[in-house]
A and B are shown apart, each in its own frame.
Chain A
Amino acid sequence: MKQITTAVILAALIAAIGLVATSEPLRIGICKIIEHPALDAVEQGVIDTLTAAGYVNGVDVEYLIASAQGDFATAISIAQNYRAQDVDLVVAIATPTAQAAVEVFRGADTPIIYAAITDPVGAQLVASATDPSGNGNVTGVSDMIPVSAHLRLLMDLSPDIATIGIVYNPGEANSALLTEMALAAAPSVGVKIVTATADSTADVPLAAQSLVGRVDAFYVTTDNTVVSAIDSVLAASEEAGVPFLMADPTSLAQATLAAGFDYYEHGLTVGKVVLEVLSGVGTDEIPVTYQQSAEVHLNLDAAARIGLVFPAAVIDQAAGILYGGTVWKRGTP
């Protein structure tokens, strides 16, 4: 009799927990520093991953989505609002928002998942990229791109390429780091790097123009300022008659070729880390995830305008091409 009572009570408890779990949706705060196609795509990727895994928006999970709209004080306020509202998990997109979240959630055990950060160790979000045991409640995905592989890809295009020009904004943490990496990698790759800086979108055309005649190829990393005026870089490269490699396939139409991942994919990867944490894996068990990015995309229309014929080796590794204004993915008939 006693055992039956215990069993009934246990069953009732389990049912009650189940009820609580279904009636109280999970609350996830997603914040970004500014509205931007790449950052918006990350946000969407995270939500889509969770939806695909069965977290129905409004039923199982409630999203508190916020953008600091470029204002750093607001980035802090957003994190403070999340903490005051006791959210279950925070997804922080871009460096300042992630740093603000880590500072505000100091002492709390709410998981913070960062996204779109090139160097999470340099930003001191985590202590170590490989050993997560000391990283506390913080983990996430880095959008580091393989800079030296990109430089080699450019050199594969033609034996004449000896100097590569990079247009970047020294005020963007990610971009400054990637440019620094390119400069460091240049001697071992066997190429010379010339840089031109643009502090704002309005300065990009001039910076790009300043490289015409001085470089054999143009290269732009994931630099938000330059990407906003990317047409002017393509125009400059075509005026010089040299190829332009863009480290973001979403901009393929504005480049001769593009390598890397698009930010929606990045968001999907971040979503997977979120799912892992929700399934009970501790943030101090998940090392920094690096976005895999091996894809090469070719813009044959732009190549034709500068009289460039892609070598067979490069065409072989292309995942997609833009030809006659249409994007063709490998595998599509």
Chain B
Amino acid sequence: MALLWIHAVEQGFAYGIAALGVFLTYRVLKFPDLTVDGSFVTGAAIASVLLVRHGFDPFAVMPIAFVAGGIAGSITGLLNTRLGITNLLAGVLTMIMLYSINLRIMGRPNLSLLRVPTATRVIDAAWLPLGPLAILAFVTLLTLGIKLLLDGFLRTEIGFALRATGDSESMITAQGVNTKRMKILGLALSNGLVALSGALVAQYSGFADVGMGLGTIVTGLAAVIIGGTLVRSSRVGWMTSSVLLGSLVYRVAVILALRYGYVVGFQASDLKLITSLLVILALVVPYARERRMRKVSAC
């Protein structure tokens, strides 16, 4: 049974990297970016094609996927800042374009990775003493490493300018910062992370599919908002941690619904309902406690 929770954490962290990307646009830049549904697949597609057709190293494909996602994000940024297309539409347009582009990259709608060495399988064999914890350790180290890098970046001068662009565009323009460039940079970084997550998830799952990005924005936003509700802090390190926590809560909810849903009489088609009810529960418990505390202090 413990195995299932290990898998929940693996997936929570693997998708957590994409959630960090969504956090960067939605929370930091205040830019609702829908590109991610496409760039997640772009990362998976690039990684799979390089692995299957060109025999690349499974770890080397991840930074390449990051760069590809970055290009996708900059396209949304250019559409928005240079051509004046509203943020939502710019993201939607890039996402739609990426559907065709991803098909071109893969050459077919589904690319199997079942017969090539993937990062997770290489780690599983190399870190044998860790047993079933090997993949968990790898995904956790990778995700936390990326989180720390992101934290560090957001504390640099450019990072501050990026955060200020989201907080108060007019003020930071007065300081002489080119906010257009900041937006493009933020979108590129965000979609780079999302594509990296896609490259990791494809290897973890054993295939890339042109439909696998559907809902990346929804689960990413869910993670950002669940995390933000559970951990209320405006410090960078806490905020990114909360995103990963939110992603974990979401995956645990799915696993709980899958594992115990049918025990209490739910059927397969009820899955999304139960998942959402569990997420609501996770949000309501701390909220109710807080209200009770406030009432007590008011007395």
A residues adjacent to B (C-beta < 8 A): 35, 64-67, 69-78, 80-81, 83-85, 95-96, 99-100, 102-103, 106, 122-125, 127, 170-173, 176-177, 199
Q: Chain A interface: which of B59-67, B77-85, B266-274?
A: B266-274
Per-residue CB contact flags for chain B residues 107-118 toward chain A (1 = under 8 Å, else 0) read 011101011000
Q: What's the least CB distance linking B43 to chain A, in Å?
A: 14
Query: Which residues of the other chain, A, contact B8 by a CB distance below 8 angstroms?
Result: 77
Q: Is the CB of B110 within 8 A of A35?
A: no
Report the Cα distance A331→B188, complex, angstroms: 65
Query: Can you list 22 contacts pairing A with B, beta carbon distance less than 8 Å?
Result: A35-B269, A65-B267, A67-B268, A69-B272, A70-B214, A72-B205, A72-B209, A72-B214, A76-B7, A77-B8, A80-B7, A80-B255, A84-B4, A84-B7, A84-B259, A96-B212, A99-B112, A99-B114, A99-B205, A100-B207, A103-B114, A123-B207
Q: Is the CB of A81 within 8 A of B255?
A: yes
Query: Which residues of the other chain, B, contact A176 by a CB distance below 8 angstroms?
Result: 108-109
Q: What's the least CB distance linking A98 to chain B, in Å?
A: 9
Report the Cα distance A69→B121, complex, angstroms: 27
Residue from A65, A67, A199 within 8 A of B99 (CB atoms): A199
Q: What's the least CB distance linking B31 to chain A, in Å?
A: 24
Given A71-B215, A77-B251, A103-B207, A124-B3 contact (CB < 8 Å):
no
In this assembly, does B248 line the interface, its C-beta being within 8 Å of a C-beta of chain A?
no
The 9 residue pairs across chains A and B that have the minimum distance between CB atoms: A103-B206, A124-B112, A173-B110, A84-B4, A99-B207, A72-B212, A80-B7, A124-B114, A67-B268
Residue from B103, B206, B209 within 8 A of A170 (CB atoms): B103
Query: Which residues of the other chain, B, contact A122 by a CB distance below 8 angstroms?
Result: 108, 112
Report the Cα distance A103→B124, complex, angstroms: 13
Residue from A81, A124, A199 within 8 A of B115 (CB atoms): A124
When C-beta atoms are compared, the residue in chain A nearest to B261 turns out to be: A66
Residue from B15, B114, B269 within 8 A of A67 (CB atoms): B269
Interface of chain B: mostly helix, strand, loop or mixed? helix
Query: Which residues of the other chain, A, contact B11 by a CB distance below 8 angstroms?
Result: 73, 76-77
Q: Is the CB of A80 within 8 A of B103?
A: no
Q: What's the least CB distance linking A119 to chain B, in Å?
A: 9
In this assembly, does B23 line the interface, its C-beta being within 8 Å of a C-beta of chain A?
no
Given A71-B215, A73-B219, A173-B108 contact (CB < 8 Å):
yes
In this assembly, does B254 line the interface, its C-beta being within 8 Å of a C-beta of chain A?
yes
When C-beta atoms are compared, the residue in chain B nearest to A170 turns out to be: B103
Q: What's the least CB distance linking A31 to chain B, in Å?
A: 8
Apart from A66-B271, A173-B108, A177-B108, list 4 A-B contacts with CB within 8 A: A65-B262, A73-B15, A95-B209, A173-B209
Q: Is the CB of B206 within 8 A of A102?
A: yes
| A-contacting residues, B1-57, CB 8 Å | 1, 3-4, 7-8, 11, 15
Query: Which residues of the other chain, B, contact A35 by a CB distance below 8 angstroms?
Result: 269
| A-contacting residues, B198-223, CB 8 Å | 201, 204-207, 209-212, 214-215, 219
In this assembly, does B93 line the interface, its C-beta being within 8 Å of a C-beta of chain A?
no
Q: What's the least CB distance linking B106 to chain A, in Å?
A: 10
Q: Is the CB of B206 within 8 A of A81?
A: no
